[in-house]
């Protein structure tokens, strides 16, 4: 018996303990060397699933519904909240969700954007997550035309009734290129925010706000972002690009515009100077707005963590609830 104990002691001391310590070291290295998220998917999962699992299970999805006939890209997914008294009466507010991807990539079905769509539904909104035509097959203003067409489609009496939506309470949420399109949609036009192609609230995460030559001096966007913008605008240079101003929400701000939530990071792909300039223009026009920039490099929905999510929920509830 004593011999067996001695052998066991030697096994634990010379094999098990070193193996255990090695496993701990490997685990620590994995945790401390994992780089930034390479897509919005894991960030959105971590921030949208953590405290809403019961509600998420009750969200219903209707996929690949056509809102236009000009292109196969003109489709959307609808994330609907659980049935309620409001849904029976057709009184639920809605949010149009616009994915990012440099106007040339991305899809509404990407895991990160699906998760945001589902999260919006847990907050009581009918979320319409759309695809739109992409560069190089389509250039500005085709993308904005698609977003506008989707908004009109939602507002038609037939579709508002189908999805139990209050057509007078529509907002828009976009990130990166989708943030640019969301802000353009919000700043476009004047007057009443509850009909036609107007929206009652805008959430813009990391959207390029000034695509003009002057905008290239707002935080000095890198060469990669400049290439994306020029391809979107179908221009060789910013200096000779007549449509750059029309593609820049900054120059369309007026006092009748809807409240705007501007989110992003201090040091990311789209310079924070763009969001700050947008906030200054909104302030000058006395348009209600929130500027929320977090430290670090997280772009678009990667920055949409639990804290920002709570702020966006409060913002939407104030202006659409």
Report pTM. Answer: 0.83
- Read off the pLDDT of residues 83-110 as tens digits, 9 standing for 90 and up: 765 666 678 999 999 999 999 999 999 8
CA gap 239, 260 in Å, rounded: 29
CA gap 186, 78 in Å, rounded: 21
- Read off the pLDDT of residues 223-276 as tens digits, 9 standing for 90 and up: 999 999 999 999 999 999 999 999 999 999 999 999 999 999 999 999 999 999
Name the token pair of 60: 């219903």
Quick check: 37 pLDDT over 80?
A: no
Closest CA to 321 of 58, 161, 95: 95
Confidence of residue 9 (pLDDT cuts 50, 70, 90): very low
Q: Which fold has domain 41-320?
A: Rossmann fold (3.40.50)
* pLDDT at residue 49, rounded to an integer: 40
* pLDDT at residue 77, rounded to an integer: 98
Domain positions in the chain are 1-34, 41-320
């Amino acid at each position: 018996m004593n011999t067996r104990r001695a052998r066991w002691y030697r096994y634990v001391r010379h094999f098990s303990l070193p193996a255990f310590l090695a496993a701990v070291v490997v685990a620590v290295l994995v945790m401390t060397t994992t780089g930034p998220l390479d897509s919005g998917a894991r960030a959105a999962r971590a921030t949208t699933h953590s405290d809403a699992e019961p509600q998420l299970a009750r969200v219903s999805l209707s996929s690949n519904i056509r809102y236009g006939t000009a292109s196969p890209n003109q489709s959307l997914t609808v994330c609907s909240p659980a049935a309620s008294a409001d849904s029976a009466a057709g009184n639920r507010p809605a949010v149009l969700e616009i994915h990012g991807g440099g106007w040339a990539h991305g899809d509404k079905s990407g895991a990160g954007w699906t998760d945001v769509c589902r999260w919006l539904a847990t907050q009581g909104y009918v979320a319409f997550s759309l695809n739109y035509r992409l560069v190089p097959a389509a250039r500005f203003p085709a993308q904005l035309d698609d977003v506008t067409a989707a908004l009109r489609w939602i507002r038609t009496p037939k579709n508002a009734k189908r999805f139990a939506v209050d057509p007078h309470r529509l907002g828009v949420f976009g990130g990166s290129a989708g943030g640019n399109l969301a802000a353009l949609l919000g700043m476009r036009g004047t007057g009443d925010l509850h009909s036609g192609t107007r929206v009652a609230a805008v959430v813009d995460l990391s959207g390029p706000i000034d695509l003009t030559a002057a905008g290239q001096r707002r935080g000095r966007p890198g060469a990669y972002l400049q290439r994306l913008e020029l391809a979107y605008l179908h221009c060789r240079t910013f200096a000779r690009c007549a449509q750059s101003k029309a593609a820049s929400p900054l120059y369309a701000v007026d006092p009748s515009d809807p409240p705007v939530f501007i989110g992003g990071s201090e040091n990311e792909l789209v310079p924070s100077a763009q969001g700050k300039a947008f906030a200054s223009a909104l302030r000058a026009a006395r348009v209600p707005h929130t500027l929320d920039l977090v430290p670090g490099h997280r772009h678009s929905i990667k920055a949409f963590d639990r804290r920002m999510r709570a702020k966006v929920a409060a913002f939407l509830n104030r202006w659409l609830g």
